[in-house]
C-alpha cells in the first residue's frame, strides 16, 4: 500500500514540475512594443495557438528571445 502511495505522489510531483517548466518555457505572445535594445531577427510566423502574426526579437544582453505580435504590415517569409 505504501508503494502505491509513493508512486502516486511521485507521479503528481512529476506532473507539477512538468507544468511549471511548460509555463516557464512557452511564454504567451505579447502585444507591447519591443525594448529598444532588442534586435529584430527578421523571423515572422503565424502563432498556431492564436493565429496572430508573430515577430521574434533577440536580447543580446541576456540571450533571450522575445515573441511579440508583429505589426499589421508584416508578412511571413
pLDDT (tens digit per residue) in 5-17? 999 999 999 999 9
Contact criterion met (CB below 8 Å) for 54 and 45: yes
Residue among 8, 7, 49, 53 nearest 27 (CA): 49
Give residue-wise pLDDT tens across range 36-48.
999 999 999 998 8
Q: Does the reported pTM lie above 0.75?
A: no
Amino acid at each position: 500500500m505504501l508503494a502505491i502511495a509513493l508512486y502516486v505522489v511521485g507521479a503528481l510531483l512529476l506532473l507539477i514540475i512538468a507544468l511549471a517548466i511548460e509555463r516557464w518555457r512557452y511564454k504567451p505572445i505579447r502585444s507591447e512594443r519591443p525594448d529598444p535594445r532588442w534586435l529584430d531577427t527578421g523571423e515572422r510566423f503565424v502563432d498556431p495557438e492564436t493565429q496572430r502574426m508573430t515577430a521574434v526579437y533577440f536580447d543580446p544582453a541576456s540571450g533571450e528571445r522575445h515573441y511579440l505580435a508583429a505589426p499589421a504590415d508584416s508578412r511571413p517569409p
